[in-house]
Amino acid sequence: MSTQKSKGIVVSRDRLKFLPARMAHSGMYACVVTSPDLNMTEFMNVTIHRKTTGCNVPDHLMYKTVNGSAKNPKITCPTIFYYNWSAPVQWFKNCKALQGPKYRAHRAYLFIKNVGRDDEGDYTCKFTHTENGTSYIVTATRSFIVEADHQSTYYIVAGCSLLLMFISVLVIALKVFWIEVALFWRDIVTPYKIQNDGKLYDAYIIYPRVFEGSSAGTTSVEYFVHHTLPDVLEKKCGYKLCIYGRDLLPGQDAATVVESSIQNSRRHMFVLAPHMMHSKEFAYEQEVALHSALIQNNSKVILIEMEPLGEASRLQVGDLQDSLQHLVKMQGTIKWREDHVANKQSLSSKFWKHVRYQMPVPNKLPKMASGVVPLSETQGMFTQNTFELWS
């Protein structure tokens, strides 16, 4: 087609331009294409709307919405490439001119720095079109919506999942190896501690005495109390124990000395064995120690089970004093199995770990070391399971 002008209507090749557009230009237009091989007519209904007042642009006059993100912070001025335009292009958001380092206009594009939800809105580009030496102002408006950064969301979700897995594994590991971790930390940070509570002993040992007609098990309990416990807790760990028959000598007022010694001990260690039911001394010490621990809240109790408590055992839980039964059910016992302990004095054994865990921080360093347990004693520290509790 040849270019022609008629009342502000310009035909330029395959395009029909209204310069400037007026409401009178509304109507039905026909495009006729003729060639040796083809005759075609297409009709198009054109509606020119009245210019709106104020800032709001009706939805039917808006161009296609742009979905942006942190990785795609770009808005393109719509239909600008159909015009004979020249830079610069001015940009407005909700009818306010955009200024500042956050916005950068380049040719037909607007780039937004650090895109966020606050950047959503209606953006208008304004430029100049030149036609046959005459300049016309053109504006176009489109909405901008910020999409969620799916990749960032993926990383956040993946990171949170890994963090939860790590926390879960850490919690499980701490639950399984809590005693080992606590002892390891204590050996490093506070291998010993000066106690200012006025007490003389770290633990008072309550055990059934040898009496005439005692069973063979009595001898093993005596050996455990008078040899095994001191060799490990005193010589290797630096604790001070109070043992009747060693620290409390015959000839003293037994009741007064026992009560005073129990009151001056930070822990009360009960050695539970079948023949304890026939020991009057055990019954008296038990009463004083439980009163100190449960009523006066002056100390803590450690329960060592020399033989299994249960239906198949000579010692039943129901045979114990009520307060002692309560402690067995609440805190459990530490089980000494002489036949199952390969090295009865190894600090790396499960038994001694749990005894040390329930004992206070020693008041002094052991004589055999300078505050650190030998490596041979700590190997395998993190390979043991938790001790068996009575439930």
Per-residue model confidence as pLDDT tens for the chain (391 residues): 333 456 788 888 888 888 888 888 999 999 998 888 889 999 999 999 888 777 778 888 889 999 988 888 999 999 999 899 987 899 999 889 999 999 999 999 999 999 998 999 999 999 999 988 899 999 999 999 998 766 677 788 899 999 999 999 999 998 888 999 888 888 888 777 777 888 999 999 999 886 555 555 567 888 999 999 999 999 998 899 999 888 876 666 788 889 999 999 999 999 988 877 777 778 888 899 999 888 888 889 999 998 877 655 667 777 788 888 899 999 999 998 765 555 677 888 889 999 999 999 887 766 554 444 443 343 333 333 333 333 2
In a domain, 374, yes or no: yes
In a domain, 181, yes or no: no
Same domain, 219 and 343: yes
In a domain, 101, yes or no: yes
What DSSP string runs through 359-379? SPPPSS--TTSSSS--HHHHT
Same domain, 203 and 340: yes
Same domain, 201 and 335: yes
Is 285 annotated in the active site? yes
In a domain, 168, yes or no: no
Same domain, 88 and 199: no
pTM of the entire predicted model? 0.55
**Based on the structure, what is the number of domains in the chain?**
3
CATH number of residue 268's parent domain: 3.40.50.10140
Give the C-alpha separation, 325 to 317, whole Å.
6
Same domain, 127 and 204: no
The encoded tokens of residue 87 equal: 């830079």
Same domain, 225 and 369: yes
Catalytic residue among 285, 305, 307, 377: 285
The encoded tokens of residue 102 equal: 């956050």
Same domain, 75 and 140: yes
In angstroms, the Cα distances linking 198 to 47, 202, 263, 267 are 100, 11, 10, 14
Domain boundary among 112, 147, 182: 147
Same domain, 42 and 98: no
Q: How do beta strands 96-97 and 39-46 pair?
A: unpaired
CATH number of residue 84's parent domain: 2.60.40.10
List, edge to edge, every strand of the sheet that includes 74-76. Answer: 74-76, 109-112, 103-106
Same domain, 31 and 138: no
Prior bond of 20 cis (ω within 30°): yes
Same domain, 276 and 339: yes
Same domain, 199 and 317: yes
Same domain, 110 and 257: no
* Domain carrying residue 141: 59-147
In a domain, 159, yes or no: no
Cβ(105)–Cβ(71) below 8 Å: no
